[in-house]
Amino acid sequence: MTTITLVQGDITRQSVDAIVNAANSSLLGGGGVDGAIHRRGGPEILADCRRLRASHYGRGLATGRAVATTAGDLDARWVIHTVGPVYSATEDRSELLASCYRESLRVADELGARTVAFPAVSAGIYGWPMDDAARIAVETVRAVPTSAQEVRFVLFDERAHEAFARQVG
């Protein structure tokens, strides 16, 4: 059985098998969680992303998909990059957001990861309302069969932590 835990803090400081990165489709770094992971993880992560992009994802990683790289200098074995959807008030994109969690757990299982740390995918600069992002994340993780023993949601601030706590119960 998978245990869901919540931590308020910095995802780049987590000691886990896999850290999930809320990446952009280019896989070449960006702002928010993505930028923090690339900065703290060092150049190995970017080099791995460039190799993946050159060999498989020339046009970028599709929204809702996930792929793994080294974790570089992070206290993890892998970084799983997933591309969350930009929130839209006029188009239901919740299935794409759920896919980020499903695909990341699928990749984690392929890698043999027993502990996985997730940020609140799409709830930062992509504008997804935090309460809804938390609901989709927790419901999806609970529904997906995984060999991970712990799924840890690492939330940057108190507001995000509280939104996820309401969903975990």
Please identify every residue annotated as catalytic: 34
Question: Rounded CA gap, 93 and 130, in Å?
Answer: 15
Round the CA-based radius of gyration of the chain to a whole number and report it.
Answer: 14
Tokens of 47: 């080099």
For every residue of 119-134, DSSP letters joined together read --TTSSTT---HHHHH
Q: Residue 82's Cα: distance from chain center in Å?
A: 6
| Interior/surface letters 119-155, b for 16+ CB within 10 angstroms, e for the rest | bbbbbbebebebbebbbbbbebbeebebebeebbbbb
Residue whose C-alpha is closest to residue 128's, from 85, 82, 66: 85
Tokens of 88: 């839209």
